[in-house]
Structure 1
Amino acid sequence: MCGRYALGIRASFVRYQLQQQGMQVDNAPEDDQARETYNFPPGAYGLVYRAQVPDSGLRDEDEDPAEASERSDAQAAVREDTTGEDETPQNENENKNGHLNYEIKVMKWGLIPFWTKRSPDYGSLMRTINCRDDSLIENRGMWNTMKQRKRCIVVAQGFYEWLKKGPAGKEKIPHFVKRKDGQLMCFAGLWDCVKYEDAEDKLYTYTIITTDPNKQLTFLHDRMPVILDPNTDAMSLWLDPTVNKWSKDLQDVLKPFEGELECYPVNKEVGKVGNNSPDFIIPVDSKENKKNIANFFGNARKINDLRSPSKDMKEVKIEHNQDTRDTKDHESSENSAPMPVPPKEEGGMKRKLDTDDEGDHHDKAPKLEFTPEQKPASQQSRSPERLTTPLKPATAKKTRSATSNADVSKKPTPVKDGSKRITSFFGKT
């Protein structure tokens, strides 16, 4: 079955993509009318492509002949009232050339038949999110009316399926499936329109048709959605509302996808309906995935580049990842993050922090280390164990008397072991 898919794109982008592939799109909803999420669940409002026809279809074989005749006469009267080519189209569902309009319409996932009087519960809705292709072979059952004249295409980026592993299949690993060419996925579907008792508005709903898996997905599940290629004979036949009688040609459209697909494990957080993130359609072991350890250290290198004085800040671009999921507590903290180390520069000096065996930083001040070529000449001969300031020559400055301008001869005072000269103290400063 197909119980979750991705639709994290706007309706305007879907319209553009379909038109680029040669699909006719006469009407489309506003971007805020459909749900935009990478974790699209049953009961949400998605985007459906279909021929713009009356809610009862082009022709209802089950309706009363008198009502059908009355409706045909009304349509004929409308055609007689239209005279010029620039006038309003003869039928709101037809364009100026007399051809049908095609539209992208917002509908609710989980088909509700038109004869339903009250809103069903969620459990009942879940039973109609998918329709098996083999259930359409015989002309009976709840799908019989929809398959005759209410066929559509459900637009998605791809779909999710869970691989069961471990004892009794308790471990479930989500996989994302998409087209290898990067195009939108077009699922074959059915739609219907219902109006509940005492309700003012109509409700449009849809289901996705499933079939046997192709060779790429046999390991994953025993079913897969029917995927049609845009602007092909198969899709044109499926969307043609004038073909309102089920045939072998229509049944043959429902088969496993023959193109190339990509299938890979993704974040397990997609299993919760309330979660939503673009990471859900990225391989879990990809460098693009924020949870990948390689990307974690890659981000540390980016921070290091930003702090490096030799980096041209105008060329640095900070990437921001948006994730609307609720914040959760983690066992780790910022204290365990690796410290960025600025790269060594030519002709400069590097800072070194003393660390113990566990990597914790001491409260010691950082030491400055020089290379032998960078040391001053006065320090190159010093002992590393004890630093002393050399005595200044006696002739460097004459001492004057405090009571006269005459020079006072100064005799050098012998330096005893362990004593310090006051001039040496100030010399250090």
Structure 2
Amino acid sequence: MMGCALRFGLLGPPVLYDACGTRDAHDTCGAPDVRAVGSPKVRALLAALLLEAGRVVPVGSLKDTLWGGAPPASAQASLHNHVTRLRRLLDDPERLRATPPGYLLRVDEGELDVHVFERHLAVARGAHAARDWELVVRECLSALALWRGAPLSGLPSEVGGYAFVQRLREARLLLEDWRYDAELAVGGSRLGALVPELAALAAEHPLRESYHRQLMLALHRTGRRAEALAVHRDLRSRLVGELGVEPGPGVREAHVEVLRGTPGTPGTPTAPARPGVPARPAVPAAPAMPTVPAVPVGPAAPAGVATPAAPAGAAMPAVPATPVAPDAFAVPAAPAALATPAGVAASVAPAVPAASAVPAAPRVPGGSAASSAPDARGVSGAPAVRSGPGRSGPAVPGEADTPPPHT
């Protein structure tokens, strides 16, 4: 709840708060009354002074805020008039003082909504880390109640404060994340009311995974499992199609919870068990595979009984050999004929028959005999070379027994 100390607001258009809001029957202070600043120049002047609360803002910076980079010749007098008008709106005119080289607006602790917002943010961060979900919900709701719209809205760009606005917007998104994490952890009847809020946030931030994760869990825990799976499918297709990335671990854990139908998984806030609700039965383990029995070989002979011998002369039946798959890498054995060098000679070179031996050369008249060596070709059975007077070349069959003619 906002206290009576609040005086200034920047979480939205710059405004002023009254000293105290409407009091209830117990005389407790309610929400402070808001007084809008009508003049655009006075509103821009108030924002420039609040952005530097407690510090002196030079006159040159104030002129740039009110008129941009081209202030008129009467800018000094006009600035003095706007300062006077702002003093009249303040609860204490002494808050705004002329301090060379500019002006200073005094802001006490707890009087600016941004400071109160950041204090709630710090407490909520610590409570979220400690998993104190009730405190997280309270602090987040108190901080978000101060938010009236986009910070510094309705002001010209000359006011600046872009980094200031972005920081506050990101802080608000964090508060929303923590608040819904806490709501999901607490559970109860509030889960059904979270679905439309989370659906609106997921549509506003289509690439922010935390809101989609929380929407999946809220749908699943309220019995809308198919819709939860559809949220995951749409988010994943968007991330993969536009960014080329898969969902993060938080979304994956929520998806596993939806698929398994479990109440929660580590890493995500899980609703505690409610009284009167039976626990989900454990899933039985898969049965073990049966053991394959060994193939029986045959009954063993009883002790003391001799195995009958085969009758004499009876041939033992041939036992077919078990076919063995050939080994692709085995090297075939060499033939028996190639086992030894002698076998190599016997298998490669055929034996020479005895009938083909070279016959002894007949004796020639005159005491000379033909050479018994084979011819130069070394082929068995070739005719012998004849030697004699006036003769050369191979011998003619039958000619060796014919004497030479007499002259």
TM interval, short-chain normalised? under 0.3
Q: Which has the higher strand share?
A: 1
- Larger Rg belongs to: 2
Say which structure, 1 or 2, has more relative contact order (CA 8 Å, 6+ apart): 1
Name whichever structure is richer in helix by fraction.
Answer: 2
Task: State TM-score, norm by structure 1.
Answer: 0.23
